[in-house]
A = this chain, B = another copy of it.
Amino acid sequence: MKELDVKQTAWIYKKMNDIRNFEDQVHQIFTTGSIPGFVHLYAGEESVAVGVCAHLTDKDYITSTHRGHGHCIAKGCDLAGMMAEIYGKETGLCKGKGGSMHIADIDKGMLGANGMVGGGFPIAVGAGLRNKYLKTADVVVCFFGDGAANEGTFHESVNMAAIWKLPVIFVNENNSFAEATPQWYASGSKTIAERAAAYGIPGETVDGKDLTAVYKAAGKAIDRARRGKGPMILECRTYRNYGHFEGDEQKYKALDGKEKKYADQDCIKDFRKYAIANKLLTVEQADQIAATSKADIAAAVKFAENSPIPRPETLYDNVFAD
């Protein structure tokens, strides 16, 4: 496993900023009505997607969720193409036909956001099977929420990955809530990680707001998977900054109880401090990265806004491959 070095740190800090800026922008634009449908924002959870994907190459796969923007950005999807997709433009990564919940870029190893909670588990197992069958050392990361852990697909998929020792790392983003339902209500187990025992694989819970903790734990898990040691569950305790979707009043958030610790942390500020204190970034570099990120997102928005909507005839395209 790579230790955090200067180059990696800059990459991480940029990606974290990209996600935050991207989501803050979408949050704002959404109120103007330019973005159709609904969006689920990843802001607040950046250290999970970035801390994990920092260990991946384009040949490694990830599966994602309805809250997929962060995973996409961390896995290298084009920011402008993503933004255009969210706007429903033909220049979007999916030609405007998928939207926020279905952004995908298979060439980058991004197997798709997924509108079905729990829909990604089996797909990740399939990609893991493929990697094992082709004897590659590539891995698959399956991101999933605390709510998704109660779907039957979780059980079936983790079990299959376990008995076949597939290179799949199940990364749980426990942000305390599934929509308006607390994890402590919906799960019989206290943590998600402890469910790993039901499949004879390791499970670990880390502070998902702490980039370095995620980075370290994910690095170990991914390494282990690359070496053919099989899957594990890595639970990252985190919190979403916004509502479940845009427009959510969030009456269920308590902020005095079990979730407070995670709600109060800003993973990007914390990582910045860490990086500077550990001489992995200078203040100037950090400011520079933050500024570049802002500019990149602004450019993405501009690209999206100036892009054409899909030509009508594309409605009928791509139902089947020829």
On A, residues with C-beta under 8 Å from B are: 150-156, 158-159, 162-163, 185-190, 194-195, 197-201
Interface of A is mostly: helix
Residues on B with beta carbons closer than 8 Å to the beta carbon of A186: 159, 163
Residues on B with beta carbons closer than 8 Å to the beta carbon of A189: 197-200
Residues on B with beta carbons closer than 8 Å to the beta carbon of A158: 188
Q: Which of A150, A188, A189, A199 is the most central at the interface, judged by chain B CB atoms within 10 Å of its CB? A: A188
Q: Which of A152, A185, A187, A195 is the most central at the interface, judged by chain B CB atoms within 10 Å of its CB? A: A152
Alpha-carbon distance between A163 and B184 when the two chains are bound, in angstroms: 9
Residues on B with beta carbons closer than 8 Å to the beta carbon of A190: 200
Alpha-carbon distance between A151 and B152 when the two chains are bound, in angstroms: 7
Residues on B with beta carbons closer than 8 Å to the beta carbon of A159: 150, 186-188
Contact of A155 among B154, B162, B200 (CB under 8 A): B154
Contact of A188 among B151, B152, B187, B198 (CB under 8 A): B198
Beyond the given pairs A152-B156, A188-B198, A198-B198, 12 more chain A to chain B contacts, judged by CB atoms under 8 angstroms and listed by A's residue number, are: A150-B155, A150-B156, A151-B152, A151-B155, A152-B152, A152-B153, A155-B155, A163-B186, A188-B201, A189-B197, A195-B198, A197-B198
Contact of A200 among B152, B188, B201 (CB under 8 A): B188
Contact A194–B188 (Cβ < 8 Å): no
25 A-B pairs whose Cβ atoms sit less than 8 Å apart in the complex: A150-B155, A150-B156, A151-B152, A151-B155, A151-B156, A152-B152, A152-B153, A152-B154, A152-B156, A154-B155, A155-B155, A159-B187, A159-B188, A163-B188, A188-B198, A188-B199, A188-B200, A188-B201, A189-B198, A190-B200, A194-B197, A194-B198, A197-B197, A197-B198, A198-B198
